[in-house]
Amino acid sequence: MRVIIQRVNEANLKVNNELICSINYGLLILVGIENEDTDQDIDWLSSKVIGLRIFKDSDDMMNLSLNEINGELMIVSQFTLYASTKKGNRPGFTRSAKPELAKLLYLKLIMKIKSLFSGKVVEGIFGADMKISLINDGPVTIIIDSKNKE
């Protein structure tokens, strides 16, 4: 499981030009799910995301977590995070999980995060053509992969 985490001042998600959800100060998380992902990946990644200390404290240091700043969270599925560009110029997506498995794990991830985080959590619509607008704060953007625990 791979995520791109963006610290945002705000984010809005639309489908068919209709606002589906929005957040204020917090995290936008784009989630890619691959064929090999399991509940263990969900558990590890959920804890990592919620505990990630990337918000500024009173000394202007990135030292606070989402819970500590009462931030908000938007979670969006994005199968393109497992794009392979090894051959040619057209990306391949064979590592991305099939929609049935990906949706199941995506929903489990949302449930797990909601069990760890008491603040506002919103999510995109799985499989929809979504338009996301955001103001990246910092900018702070972090990539985490449950198979490469750096």
Q: Which residues form the catalytic set?
A: 80
Point out which residues pair with 22 in neighbouring strands: 12
Three state DSSP letters for the chain: CEEEEEEEEEEEEEECCEEEEEECCEEEEEEECECCCCHHHHHHHHHHHHHCCCEECCCCCEEECCCCCCCEEEEEECHHHHCECCCCCCCECCCECCHHHHHHHHHHHHHHHHHHCCCCEEECCCCCCEEEEEEEEEEEEEEEECCECC
Q: Is the peptide bond before 99 cis (omega within 30 degrees of 0)?
A: no
d(CA 53, CA 62): 6
The tokens for 68 are 């500590």
